[in-house]
């Protein structure tokens, strides 16, 4: 993924109150509980595991929002609402990550709605102007 840090407004909204999701295979999920296990047993075990993982990243879990069982893919997606990240710091009203070099993949790859909108507008302008993007990409 491209690095879009130059477009970041450093508002810190991405580090507060987000919904995080993680998928677990049925095999991984059911391995956490004794058999026979009900869906609720599996959900409780997954919630504990995911909360522990998120807390280890510095993310306090406010609520497990839902469990999405996908029988076709044989996976369960856990949705968790997190509070403000422990690594978020404000310096001169700008958000700074105290764990920037070691931040999780989800943080590195995150694009807020504002950045996605800016990128889309930029691509539309370039497309409408007829500018050749392939020449820039090869440089």
- What distance in Å separates the CA atoms of residue 40 and residue 22, rounded to the nearest whole number? 17
pLDDT for position 9? 85
10-residue block means of pLDDT along the chain (139 residues)? 66 89 96 92 97 95 97 97 96 94 86 82 77 51
What is the spatial order of strands in the sheet that 75-82 belongs to?
19-25, 75-82, 61-70
For the stretch 124-134, pLDDT in tens is: 877 777 665 55
Contact assessment for residue 33 and residue 39, using Cβ atoms and an 8 Å cutoff: no
The number of residues in the chain equals 139
Look up the pTM and report it: 0.75
């Amino acid at each position: 993924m491209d690095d879009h840090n130059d477009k970041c407004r450093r508002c810190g909204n991405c580090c507060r109150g987000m919904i995080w999701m993680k998928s677990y295979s049925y095999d991984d999920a059911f391995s956490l509980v004794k058999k026979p296990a009900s869906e609720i047993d599996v959900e409780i075990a997954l919630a504990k595991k995911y909360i522990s993982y998120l807390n280890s990243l510095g993310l306090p879990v406010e609520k497990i929002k839902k469990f999405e069982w996908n029988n076709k893919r044989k996976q369960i997606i856990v949705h968790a609402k997190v509070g403000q990240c422990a690594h978020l710091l404000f310096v001169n009203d700008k958000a700074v990550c105290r764990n920037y070099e070691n931040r999780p993949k989800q943080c590195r790859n995150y694009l807020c709605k504002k950045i996605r909108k800016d990128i889309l507008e930029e691509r539309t302008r370039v497309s409408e102007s007829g500018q050749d993007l392939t020449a820039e990409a090869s440089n």
